[in-house]
């Protein structure tokens, strides 16, 4: 009975997710508007407050003001709390909806899904508890590593080192990208302890709990992985490697980014820059000084995003990978889309296409509006829009210069970009029903 009651509560994912995140943004906005939240002791104003609260709850990392210079310690703690609430909420809700979707399948399909994922549909409390323990354990490990590095390597006082370690552990594992320095993490561009720890935290937080859980359970047997895990792992590796290579080629001689760095540091910086667009807004290079081709690569990575049921944004690597298999099957003239030893359901193919096309529509319309209301160029505006929609948080430096209407547009994009793919994917899956009849087929010329 408990299982059925829990399922009934999540029959309307759109209302559940939108309401939960909307309330979190509202509370965060009110707290950040308090005079105690700023270093000047004056209210930040509702536009800056709602922008920052939305950026934190949606774990985007975009900032309309300097995080360290504008916000007091109270304000920074509020931002960290909003990031934690948003990150845990995303992973928990996404995992629960994954369980719910499998619960709406037929008995045979549900048994197969449970056997592969080891996630039952009866005890959502157990699932949520595992997500919580996993998240807090990862953040604790990251915080210890960063704290020791700040304490020993940079001579920070113990209290300050712990504060920096905990804040950036929360921000990195939840793919938020908020940093407590005005230049982001550029001062640590050659520090592998800082860069690799944060990059690994971003990657783990972004691949999604179901994938991480399965990797822990069956990492020695890749042949037993589910399609979700296979696509997420391999596409993530391909995008990481491809992005690193692309940034090395484009920025190797750029005197304002990789040019002055030594070879190993260039590789480290390129890898870090490739990992961040998956959904985190950290940077060790000056994004505004990159070549346009690097912005284009970053746009693509931000739009794709990370794994499903994780803290990453974008259309998700799973969606991108499924579309790649659909295209490959079409090029080969195959009537069915097969991935390994499994056949991809047609409903899943339609969901992937729907999510991708809706994302393209949001980005296109928002880019047009921002071009109309601002004097900035297309490449910079497109970068900001995709960064907001993909909850990546990176910027070419124009975020703070946008008019209030531009900030509100980015707020809408961050909110829709965070709850949109998850809500749409869950809603489409839960809405699926079999038709009792079929209409006559007609061929249409395509292309």
Q: Which domain holds residue 396?
A: 2-431
Rounded Cα distance, 21 and 419, in Å: 8
Report whether 421 contacts 315 (CB < 8 A): yes
What six digits make up the tokens of 265?
């540091």
Q: What is the pTM of this model?
A: 0.86
The percent of residues in the chain predicted with pLDDT above 70, rounded, is 82
- Is residue 306 very low, low, confident or very high in pLDDT (cuts 50, 70, 90)? confident
The backbone torsions φ and ψ at residue 338, rounded to the nearest 5 degrees and listed phi first, read -110, 135
Report whether 302 contacts 384 (CB < 8 A): no
CB burial readout 286-303, b (16+ within 10 A) else e = ebeebeeebbbbbbbbbb
CB burial readout 374-390, b (16+ within 10 A) else e = bebeeebbbbbbbbbbb
For residue 245, give the 3-state DSSP assignment: helix
Query: Which CA distances in Å does 228 have to 59, 116, 233, 345?
Result: 23, 10, 9, 13
The pLDDT value given to residue 109: 40
On whether residue 442 sits in a domain, the answer given is no
Cβ count near 342 (within 10 Å) = 13
Can you list the positions of beta strands (E) in 74-136? none
On whether residue 141 sits in a domain, the answer given is yes
For residue 338, give the 3-state DSSP assignment: strand
On whether residue 386 sits in a domain, the answer given is yes
On whether residue 204 sits in a domain, the answer given is yes
Q: What is the pLDDT of residues 88-131, one digit of tens each?
A: 776 566 555 555 555 544 444 443 334 333 344 445 567 667 77
On whether residue 81 sits in a domain, the answer given is yes
What six digits make up the tokens of 328?
């490959």
The pLDDT value given to residue 118: 38
| pLDDT tops 50 at residue 269 | yes
Rounded Cα distance, 382 and 292, in Å: 12
The pLDDT value given to residue 211: 86
The pLDDT value given to residue 79: 95
The pLDDT value given to residue 446: 67
What six digits make up the tokens of 357?
């096309």
The pLDDT value given to residue 108: 41
For residues 100 and 327, the model is more confident at: 327
Report whether 13 contacts 430 (CB < 8 A): yes
Considering Cα of 254, then 260, then 264, then 268, what sign does the dihedral take? Answer: negative
Report whether 57 contacts 417 (CB < 8 A): no
The pLDDT value given to residue 16: 65
Rounded Cα distance, 293 and 246, in Å: 9
On whether residue 137 sits in a domain, the answer given is yes
On whether residue 301 sits in a domain, the answer given is yes
The pLDDT value given to residue 32: 94
Arithmetic mean of pLDDT, 366-386? 95
On whether residue 98 sits in a domain, the answer given is yes
| pLDDT tops 60 at residue 287 | yes
What six digits make up the tokens of 243?
């992005």
For residues 2 and 53, the model is more confident at: 53
The pLDDT value given to residue 106: 43
Which residue's entry shows tokens 């509370």? 27
Rounded Cα distance, 391 and 313, in Å: 5
Report whether 377 contacts 300 (CB < 8 A): no
Count up the domains in the chain and report the number: 1
Cross-strand partners of 38: 71
Q: What is the pLDDT of residues 48-82, one digit of tens each?
A: 999 999 999 988 888 888 877 789 999 999 999 99
The pLDDT value given to residue 85: 86
List the single range of 162-166, 172-176, 208-212 with lowest mean pLDDT: 208-212
The pLDDT value given to residue 110: 42
The percent of residues in the chain predicted with pLDDT above 90, rounded, is 47
| pLDDT tops 60 at residue 11 | no
The pLDDT value given to residue 3: 46
| pLDDT tops 60 at residue 1 | no
Cross-strand partners of 71: 38
Mean pLDDT estimate for the chain = 83
Cβ count near 241 (within 10 Å) = 12
Cross-strand partners of 339: 342
Report whether 389 contacts 417 (CB < 8 A): yes
Q: If you count them, how many residues does the chain have?
A: 447
The pLDDT value given to residue 435: 62
């Amino acid at each position: 009975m408990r299982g059925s009651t829990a399922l009934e509560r999540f029959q309307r994912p759109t209302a559940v997710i939108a309401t939960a995140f909307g309330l979190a943004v509202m509370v965060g906005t009110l707290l950040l508007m308090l005079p105690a939240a700023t270093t000047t002791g004056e209210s930040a104003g509702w536009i800056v407050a709602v922008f920052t609260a939305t950026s934190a709850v949606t774990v985007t990392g975009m900032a309309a003001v300097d995080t360290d210079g504008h916000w007091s310690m109270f304000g920074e703690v509020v931002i960290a709390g909003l990031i934690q609430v948003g990150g845990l909420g995303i992973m928990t809700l996404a995992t629960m909806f994954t369980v719910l979707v499998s619960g709406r399948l037929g008995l045979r399909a549900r048994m197969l899904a449970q056997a592969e994922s080891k996630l039952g549909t009866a005890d959502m409390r157990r699932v949520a508890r595992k997500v919580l323990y996993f998240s807090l354990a990862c953040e604790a490990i990251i915080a210890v590593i960063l704290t020791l590095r700040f304490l020993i390597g940079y001579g920070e006082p113990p209290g300050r080192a712990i504060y920096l370690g905990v804040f950036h552990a929360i921000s990195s594992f939840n793919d938020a990208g908020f940093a407590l320095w005005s230049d982001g993490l550029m001062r640590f561009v050659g520090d592998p302890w800082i860069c690799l720890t944060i990059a690994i935290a971003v990657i783990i937080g972004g691949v999604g709990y179901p994938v991480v859980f399965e990797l822990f359970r069956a990492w020695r047997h890749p042949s037993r992985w589910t399609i979700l895990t296979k696509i997420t792992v391999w596409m993530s590796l391909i995008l990481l490697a491809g992005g690193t290579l692309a940034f090395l080629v484009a920025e190797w001689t750029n005197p304002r980014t990789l040019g002055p760095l030594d070879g190993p540091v260039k590789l480290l910086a390129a890898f870090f820059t490739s990992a961040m667009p998956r959904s985190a807004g950290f940077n060790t290079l000056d994004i505004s000084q990159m070549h346009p081709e690097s912005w284009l690569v970053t746009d693509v990575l931000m739009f794709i995003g990370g794994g499903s049921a994780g803290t990453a944004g974008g259309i998700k690597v799973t969606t991108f990978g499924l579309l790649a298999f659909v295209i490959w099957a079409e090029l080969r003239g195959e009537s069915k889309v097969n991935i390994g030893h499994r056949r991809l359901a047609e409903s899943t193919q339609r969901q992937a296409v729907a999510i991708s096309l809706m994302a393209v529509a949001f980005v296109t319309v928002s880019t047009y509006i921002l071009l109309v209301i601002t004097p900035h160029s297309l490449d910079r505006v497109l970068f900001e829009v995709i960064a907001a929609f993909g909850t990546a948080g990176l910027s070419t430096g124009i975020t703070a210069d946008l008019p209030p209407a531009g900030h509100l547009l980015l707020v809408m994009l961050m909110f829709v970009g965070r709850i949109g793919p998850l809500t749409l994917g869950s809603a489409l899956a839960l809405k699926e029903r079999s038709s009792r009849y079929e209409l006559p087929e007609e061929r249409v010329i395509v292309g």
